[in-house]
Amino acid sequence: MAVVVFSDLYPILSNVLVQRPLVSSLVVIALTFCARSAFTAFRAYQSDKEIGRRYGCLPPPRLRNAWPWGIDRLLQIFQADASHRLMELFLFHFQDVGSTLEQRFLGTPAYGTIEPRNLEAMLSSSFADFGYGLRRQIFFPLLGDGIFTQDGPPWKHSRDLLRPQFSHQQYQNLTIFKEHVDNLIACLPGTGEQVDLQSLFFRFTLDTTSAFLFGESTYTLKEGQSVTGLEFATSFDTAQDYVVKRFRLLDLYWLIGGPKFHQACASAHEFIDKIIKRRQRKDLGLDDQGGKYLFFDAVAKDSTNEEALRGQLLNILLAGRDTTACLLSWTFHLLVCHPRVLLRLHEEIQMMANGSAGPSMSRDDIKRMPYLANVLKETLRLFPSVPVNTRSATRTTILPTGGGPDGRSPVLVRKGQNVAYCVYAMHRRKDLYGDDAEDFRPERWDSEDFSLKNHTVHTSWGYLPFNGGPRVCLGQDFGLMEASYATVRILQTFPRIEAGVFDRPQVQSWQGYSSHHTNAVHRIAKERQKMTLVMSLGDGCPVRLWR
């Protein structure tokens, strides 16, 4: 049939090509380009296949799709997200399929892993083989050019620039937090009325981070002081919601946008631009301000224009506000749900109060509270602020484990393929943390008998609330000190804290499907989780406090 059709068309095509030399040339060029592209792709495939054979690579188990192109998986993800059950879904997939798996969205293969050895390879030993991929294009409308949207030499330059700004000397005595914790405590009723701590924590960390970055605070916790700060926070949150949706569509990220997204980005940019102009007009230097504007000045001197400066500041503001606000929210949620832990923490703080703990406590005082450190560490284990992340292979490479029927063979990752790693799920592995891996038990960090501590790679890479390798979080100590100081001050001020009541009807567990579409997802935790670029409580953190 095809031969008959071609024989019918051949005289027509020949006539067109002979009579129209331009068309003929274009056809030849197009055919040559297609042939060369196909040949190049074939050679790359053969080369990758040889690499896989050389290292004994085998594919990991696949997360099966019921619909073509994995459309059912995309719908499942969006449904789970709308129900605030996305991490529960991811956890179930790994528990159901394996600790490394393959998935296909829109025909494109990608991988997911919660294996410490694979994370060590991606984030450290094979660091040069992985980059951010499409993240820059996806995040750029909001964050611009900054450390979280950069790869290669630009990223290294940004990191070298920012690292000194997070030196302990900048916040050794913690006075940078005192004023804002005072404002936070002033917002808390002390006679048993219910209050949502999470919304206040996001305002608190915006105030502290803006003071640290700009030398002036947004003061969103001070009544009548900063309407613009609250407007910025709203715009920033709206833009983040869009960015996350773009991220989940990967190659089709451009489908998510529109006037509301671009307006939110523009509003956030305008807020930062006004601060930049205000700082530049005042022309405040280090000599007459005792180093108060060290962070802003260092970044401003290095930036080629205001747009580059804004991008870098927005990147750090995102990390400084959102991650610590989530840590504080989850910490207090877990404390009020576990009175025994709350009591023991109160006792440690009270013991320190007889010494030097109080509004004027220092970083060294915080370091002398081991149970507080364990509480925060355990909170970050169960609810890491950034629970899932991705990397894209910049060249064909391998993951050291996860392939084959037994999950022990290397896995070939071709150039351009994405690998997601979910620390939320890894932190709940029973083979790493014991049978009570899903329980909140800060004392586990004093024990030497759980699996994580009995394996070198697991010890270093099985717990990653702050990422790892060259991209490990620069501000982790700053964030932990901020959360520690705020926690101590709140518990000192309010000796009695109880869980509040969620202002919502009883929510049923989100029902998903296993890789074989037969088993329902069982609810792992009571908490609903809201996913933006970070993981917060889907229903806030309602508590009641008494002075």
Cβ(115)–Cβ(402) below 8 Å: yes
Predicted local confidence at residue 464, as pLDDT: 97
- Quick one: tokens of 233? 């926070």
CA distance linking residue 382 with residue 529, whole number of Å: 12
Question: Look-up: residue for tokens 């890491």?
Answer: 384
pLDDT at 39: 62
Alpha-helical runs (H) found in 121-191: 135-143, 152-162, 175-186
How much of the chain, in percent, has pLDDT values that exceed 70? 83
**Chain-centre distance for alpha carbon 493:** 32
The yes-or-no verdict on residue 441 having pLDDT over 50 is yes
Residue 503 confidence (pLDDT) above 90: no
Q: What percent of the chain has pLDDT over 90?
A: 60
**Above 70 in pLDDT, residue 186?**
yes
The pLDDT of residue 44: 65
Structure letter (DSSP) for residue 442? G
Provide DSSP, 363-404: HHHHHT-HHHHHHHHHHHHHS-SS-EEEEEESS-EEEEEEET
| Region of poorest pLDDT, from 130-139, 354-363, 441-450 | 354-363
> Can you give the pLDDT at residue 281?
75
Where do the DSSP E strands lie in 446-520? 496-499
pLDDT at 286 over 50: no
For residues 409-432, one letter each, b for 16 or more C-beta atoms within 10 angstroms of the residue's C-beta and e for the rest, the string is bbbbbbeebbbbbbbbbbbbbeeb
Q: How far is CA 36 from the centre of its chain?
A: 40
Q: Whole-prediction pTM value?
A: 0.87
- 96 exposure class (CB count in 10 Å sphere: 0-12, 13-18, 19+): middle
Helices 476-493, 197-214: axis angle to 10 degrees equals 130
SS (H, E, C) 86-104: HHHHHHHHHHHHCCEEEEE
Closest of 350, 393, 348 to residue 372, by C-alpha:
348
Which range in 55-69, 329-343, 504-518 is most confidently predicted, on average pLDDT? Answer: 329-343
- The token duo for 384 is 């890491």
Query: Residue 357: what pLDDT?
Result: 59
pLDDT-derived band at 34 (thresholds 50, 70, 90) equals confident
CB 374 within 8 A of CB 443: yes
The mean pLDDT of 11-24, rounded to a whole number, is 61
Q: What is the pLDDT of residues 190-246, one digit of tens each?
A: 899 999 999 999 999 999 999 999 888 999 998 766 668 889 999 999 999 999 999
The most distant pair of C-alpha atoms in the chain lies apart, rounded to whole Å, by 99
Q: Please give the pLDDT value at position 524.
A: 39
What sections of 20-151 are H helices per DSSP? 21-55, 71-82, 86-97, 116-120, 135-143
pLDDT digits (tens, 9 = 90+) for 350-365: 888 665 556 778 888 8
Q: Can you say how many angstroms the Cα of residue 108 is from the centroid of all Cα atoms in its chain? A: 23
473 is in an annotated binding site: yes
CA dihedral angle for residue 531, residue 537, residue 538, residue 543, rounded to 10 degrees = -170
Confidence of residue 51 (pLDDT cuts 50, 70, 90): confident
Residue 253 in tokens:
């990220």
* No. of helices (H) and no. of strands (E), the chain: 21, 12
Please answer whether residues 500 and 494 qualify as being in contact, where contact means their C-beta atoms are separated by less than 8 angstroms. Answer: no
- What average pLDDT does the chain have? 86
pLDDT of residue 168: 72
Please check the confidence at residue 271 and state whether its pLDDT lies above 80. Answer: yes
pLDDT at 421: 98
Average pLDDT over residues 495-510: 69
Q: How far apart are CA 520 and CA 522, in angstroms?
A: 6
More confident: 32 or 299: 299
pLDDT over 60 (residue 71): yes
**Does residue 147 contact residue 308 with C-beta atoms inside 8 Å?**
no
Which of 343-357, 463-477, 496-510 has the lowest average pLDDT? 496-510
Taking residues 509-514, what's their average pLDDT?
Answer: 42
Segment 105-115 mean pLDDT: 89
Q: How far is CA 484 from CA 113, 167, 327, 337, 369, in A?
A: 31, 17, 10, 19, 9
The predicted structure's pLDDT at residue 261:
96
Max avg pLDDT among 168-172, 458-462, 488-492:
488-492
pLDDT over 80 (residue 31) = no
pLDDT above 50 (res 164): yes
Instruction: Provide the token pair at 409.
Output: 């063979």
Q: What count of other Cβ atoms lies within 10 Å of the Cβ of residue 224? A: 6
pLDDT at 113: 98
First to last CA, the chain: 87
β-strands 542-546, 529-531 pairing = unpaired
CA–CA dist 106, 252 (Å, integer):
10
Least-confidence region, from 13-17, 76-80, 209-213, 418-422: 13-17
d(CA 39, CA 208): 56
